[in-house]
Structure 1
Amino acid sequence: MRHWAASCPDRRGGQPTVGVEEEFVLLDARTGVAVPAAPRVLGALGGEPGVVPEFLRFQVETMTGVCRSLAEVRADLARLRERLGDAADEAGCLAVATAVAPFGAVPLVTADARYERLAARFPALVERTGTCACHVHVGIPFRAAGIRALAGLRPWLGVLLALSANSPYVDGLDSGWASARYPLWSRWPTARPPAAWRDVAEYDAAIGEAIRSGAAPDARGVYFYARLSPRHPTVEVRIADVCLDVGDAVVLAGLVRALVVTALGEDAPPRRTPDSVVLRSLRTAARHGLAGPGLDVTTGSTAPAEKLVEDLLAYVRPALRAAGDLDEVRRGCRELETLGGGAGRQRVLRAAAATPARFAARLAAATRGTDDGQNVEAAQ
């Protein structure tokens, strides 16, 4: 396994390291339907260590290196998307950053012993799995710091989901959700917010109970929306949809790192937000994204999504400023709000595309950062 994704905190006293995993679907260029082309795509990549198989054969995952700046994150994400796009072209399909395959898929499990055991344990979940996320890792000095960071992240998970929501289409239809991935993924028995654990012992007890009860096969299969990575000294935030645009993923990485830094720098423990309120905020964010109301977890009342984003920016502003990320992240948030996030952009692209093939082409072009899908369409 590649040494990747913030596998150690910054030992030089600077900002914590950060790394990003992105999951992509592979679509048939003629129909838009997901195709089990991952083995061909991975073969075309010739051993690129930053791209690996995922649970289903219509998915692949990219992993950045250990990054110390958002500029490094952006460069690595863009490079990996470009390499993946070229390999997909060679394999006769399209690599697309959307959190749910928009026109359906056959859920063929990747030939990997761990994935096959997971499918055998949860067969009813396999048909609607294969959703694609963006995972952000932030380096921590020790696990107890990670527990404090998880407590600080809990109230803001809904805002992070709203900013990243990028899966409005399921089986060719508008689902009515900005993130249709969220209700699909939440069917897994351990897919839930991190609890307000008091210490590492409580966290480890929760992981152990999930495994003993059969809710997860191992620690890697405990799918908390944010967790301590079971393989690296990082906090791993898993709530976000894969982002349509590289810039959106960079904004997400900057915000997550700033939230971790802010939580670790506070004198008082983070406020305790009831699980029911956190879950309501997540469901509201998944339904509306940036296009409708969200839930203010401090009051329990609905509030415009723009206000909640402003509240988040205000909360982490000192951390963003210290990292030199404030202007970039603030500008990125404004762009997301203007376009309605990934879900809003997908709806605009779908309205302008006469066929599923053209929509898939435009999604693939957006994934690679080109202006539109015209060149991809012309190559079909």
Structure 2
Amino acid sequence: MRTFGIEEEFLLVDPETGVPQPSGQGMSSHRLGGRLSRELQLEQIEICTKTRSSLADLADDLRGARRIADTAARRNGARIAAVGTSPLPVTPSGTPSPRYDAIMDKAGLTAREQLTNGCHVHVSIASEEEGVAILDRIRIWLPVLTALSANSPFWDGQDTGYCSFRSQVWGRWPTTGPTKIFGTATAYRRHVRSLLDTGVPLDEAMIYFDARLSSHHPTVEIRVADVCLHHSDAVLLAALTRALVETAAQQWQAGQPPEAVSADIVRLAGWRASRYGLEQDLLHPLTSKPCPARSVIEALMDHVQPALVEAGDDVMAKELLEELLSRGTGARQQRSIYQQTGNLSAVAMMAAALTS
């Protein structure tokens, strides 16, 4: 059984107005046993679950981590809100640290405006060779995860027209996006080395591929999702991600080559997922043609069903998916509150209430 874990980034907001608050400096990691960490901006914080093999255990861990993180935020005059971008205008406050200062100096406005919150899923691998084989085979399915998690329709106080505008803002970094098919771990490492040799990324942690080999853990790290408004959506994301990884590993072991889809086409699929979420057609991973979102999700579920069954996650994943499809993505819920109230503070406060 492959182990997995989740990293979630949250916006820190004023409890009364929903305005982002630079409270991250006062939130120390010991409150979550070292699993709470500061991020690039003081208006955000990150949690990291324990490494789990059971989906139910991961769900419990994530629920508890959100609750404890919100308690820590309250002690510093804030709440945590699971939104990919702030609904309200904000001028972010950079977190003081030598590395973050260097990033700010190098990237300028891209870094200064970079207040976005994602959900990253780590899944264990046996070797880098297996890990790269997995990256080569899951890449075409990652835009579907973006669509399912879309939770950032607002930016700078206005509706962007996107369901995941976080994806657009995040895409300003020069190393983001889908990758080509590498074939071997040697080719992957050679590519990463060539990027580092340009001097543009400061270090390997700034290799922001949609999915990458972790530089600190024996895992693949999938990074395409917005932070999810509901913890149950993040649990679904983790179940689907682990199943994608296991399916890809089995394909590799069976000698099945990856689908020969160019990085440019995968990028377009990611853009469409970012723009429309589940509200309009997505690009089908196997045909690269527009297809109803429900059909694309069904294709994903069919693709990973054996792995879900093998892990014992199939019943829970089906229930969580039906729940998500019934109520809609975080983007739809944010827009619904705004349509009802005409008030972006209400959107932020709704998010804070649902997060923990």
Class of the TM-score when normalised by the shorter of the 2 chains = over 0.9
Residue 21 (str. 1) matches residue 7 (str. 2): yes
- Structure-1 separation of matches of 2:46 and 2:350: 20
TM-score, normalised with respect to structure 2: 0.96
Residue 91 (str. 1) matches residue 76 (str. 2): yes
TM-score, normalised with respect to structure 1: 0.90
Q: Which moved more, 1:25-34 or 1:138-147?
A: 25-34
What are structure 1's unaligned runs of at least 5 residues?
A: 1-14, 369-380
- Structure-2 separation of matches of 1:78 and 1:47: 13
Residue 217 (str. 1) matches residue 202 (str. 2): yes
Equivalent position SS for 1:22: strand
CA RMSD of aligned residues (A): 1.4
User: Can you list the C-alpha shifts for 1:323-365, whole angstroms capped at 9, x where unaligned?
Assistant: 0101111221222222221111111222334544333221111
Q: Where does 1:327-366 land on structure 2 (aligned, <5 Å)?
A: 327-353=315-341, 355-366=343-354
Residue 62 (str. 1) matches residue 47 (str. 2): yes
Q: Cα offset for 1:207? A: 0.9
Residue 207 (str. 1) matches residue 195 (str. 2): no
Equivalent position SS for 1:259: helix
CA contact (8 A) 1:166 1:179 kept: yes
> Which of 78, 97, 104 pairs up with 1:119?
104
Aligned residue type for 1:203: Y
> Which of 214, 217, 221 pairs up with 1:232?
217
> Which residue of the partner structure matches residue 93 of structure 2?
108
> Which residue of the partner structure matches residue 160 of structure 2?
175
Equivalent position SS for 1:276: helix
Equivalent position SS for 2:27: helix
Q: Which moved more, 1:140-149 or 1:27-36?
A: 27-36
- Structure-1 separation of matches of 2:64 and 2:36: 11
Change (3 A) 1:49 1:271: same
Q: Cα offset for 1:25? A: 0.5
What are structure 2's unaligned runs of at least 5 residues?
A: none
> Which of 234, 248, 257 pairs up with 2:233?
248
Q: Cα offset for 1:214? A: 2.4
Q: Cα offset for 1:27? A: 1.2
> Which residue of the partner structure matches residue 132 of structure 1?
117
CA contact (8 A) 2:85 2:117 kept: yes
> Which of 240, 244, 267 pairs up with 1:279?
267
CA contact (8 A) 1:137 1:235 kept: yes
CA contact (8 A) 2:32 2:68 kept: no
User: Can you list the C-alpha shifts for 1:91-133, whole angstroms capped at 9, x where unaligned?
Assistant: 2222100011111222221122111111111112123212111
Number of residue-to-residue matches in the alignment? 353
- Structure-1 separation of matches of 2:84 and 2:199: 27
Equivalent position SS for 2:87: coil
Q: Share of identical aligned residues, percent?
A: 36
Q: Cα offset for 1:17? A: 0.4
